[in-house]
Structure formats: C-alpha cells, structure tokens
Amino acid sequence: MARRGRVHGSVAALTITVPVRRIRRVRLRLCSSAIVLVILAAGPAAAQNPVCAAPAAGEVLRTSCRAWASASVVRLLDDFTVDHLLKPSLPSFERTWPQLVAAFASRSLSENDAFRALAKSLEPLRFTQLDRTTGTVSCDLAASPRQVDVESVGFGGVPASLHLALPEVLEGGYWRGPDVVQIVFWQRHRLGMRVNLDGTAVAQGDVQCLSLSPDGLLVRFAEEGNAPVFIKIRDCEP
C-alpha cells in the first residue's frame, strides 16, 4: 500500500510535514505471537523534532513525585509505541481518559467502580499517525460543559479547588519516540486549568504541551511566566 501527499499541521512550536511516505507490510513475531506489522519504510521524509521545550537550566518547575507510577507509565509508553508503529492498517487509535490517568492513579482509584463508570462520560482521545514519529490528536468535548469548578478536591488533606475550561474540541499534534510522547495543543483547542491550594494557585494556564517519558510528565502552559508542572517518576522520593 502506498500513500502519497503532503500533510501540514502548524503551530508555533510544531510544524509537521510529511512529503511522501510508503508503507510496507512485514511480519514479525512479538511476544511469541505472530503479528502483522506495518513499518514506515525509508523515503524522503525526515524524522521530526520534539515539540515540547526541554527544561532550561535553573528553570523553576512545580514538582511532585510519583515514583510508584514507573511501571504503569512505561507500559503506557510501550502500548503507545505498539499502536502507533506496529498495528497494521489502522492510521488512528484511541485512548480513554482513564487509560491515560490510570498510569498515575492509585490502584484503589483505578479499581473504583464509580470511577470506572464516570470514565465513560468523556469521549476518548483519538491519535492519528502521520509518520513514524508524529501524528495528530483530537477529542470531541462538545457535549461537556465549557467551564467546570470543583471545590474540595483535596491534596494530602489540604483543601483545594479545581477550575477547568474545556474547548469544544481538544486538538493538537504529537511527536513520539520509543521512550517519549509529547503532545502540543493548538491555540483555542487547549484545556485550561487552575488549581488553588489553600487559596493559592499552584498550577494554572492553558495546557500547551505535555511530555511523558519514564522520567515523568512535564506540563507546560501557554502563558509565559506560568511555571510548568513536572510529575517526577524517576530519581525522586515520594
């Protein structure tokens, strides 16, 4: 199968250009099961660059530690690689919000019946492959409220409040490697959030970029001066 054409997705931090690509099918054996794989074959396309800015020396981040989430995050990344790179003839795949959150959530939460029931109320995120390293992501939130305020979320017993501003469609592009997934959200298609802890904002802004690796999850906001949030998974003590 061959597909030809040019696909462009552009935002300040990302320009995706896929001039021409060819896809060829190969068969590989993975985990003792024969799986038909699709490998993006060599062509004139160049591998794309990361889309999230790496932390700068001395940059201040809002940091917390979830060292116990390491295995689940690695599994999330591995599954993403398999779906993006290895699944045959399927240019797109989905992740539900609980699947994404579960990597960081406690077992008690993941196994909570109420949580699992609630999870069905949000549309899943759809990831569509552009080439070996990039794709687009979208989530239809039109049926969800535009503004959400929740009181008493609670962090370690300290009262907290959460404000969310939802776009009608959450949309952006992603860049990936075997060990990392980075998502940049388009302007006007970003999730806005503000977390107040004991009356003080500890995280706020429009989520501009997410970078997930075995080291942790880095959340960058669109507004300059809003400190990014970094949930450490490796090299930290909870």
Which residues between 99 and 128 bind another protein (CB under 8 A)? Answer: 101, 104-106, 109, 115, 117-119, 121-122
23 is a contact residue toward another protein (CB under 8 A): no
Least CB distance to another protein at residue 97 (A): 6
Q: CB count, 10 Å around CB of 172? A: 27
Residues in binding contact with another protein, number by CB under 8 A: 87
Q: Which of 167, 224, 221, 234 is nearest to 195 (CA)?
A: 221
90 is a contact residue toward another protein (CB under 8 A): no
46 is a contact residue toward another protein (CB under 8 A): yes
Q: Which of 193, 205, 208, 209 binds another protein (CB under 8 A)?
A: 193
**What is the C-alpha separation between 183 and 209, in angstroms, rounded?**
6
Q: Which of 10, 15, 25, 30 binds another protein (CB under 8 A)?
A: 30
Piece of 4-12, 87-95, 173-181 that binds another protein (CB under 8 A): 173-181
Piece of 7-15, 87-95, 228-236 that binds another protein (CB under 8 A): 228-236
Measured in Å, how far apart are the chain's first and last C-alpha atoms?
Answer: 49
Q: Can you tell me which residue has the tokens 């240019």? A: 91
Q: Which of 16, 40, 137, 183 binds another protein (CB under 8 A)?
A: 40
Q: Which of 192, 237, 230, 227 is nearest to 212 (CA)?
A: 230
**What is the C-alpha separation between 234 and 181, in angstroms, rounded?**
16
Piece of 8-16, 87-95, 223-231 that binds another protein (CB under 8 A): 223-231
201 is a contact residue toward another protein (CB under 8 A): no
Please check whether residue 184 is in contact with residue 170, taking contact to mean a CB–CB distance below 8 angstroms.
Answer: no
Least CB distance to another protein at residue 181 (A): 10
Tokens of 132: 């070996």
Tokens of 61: 């981040």
Least CB distance to another protein at residue 210 (A): 10
**What is the C-alpha separation between 167 and 65, in angstroms, rounded?**
29
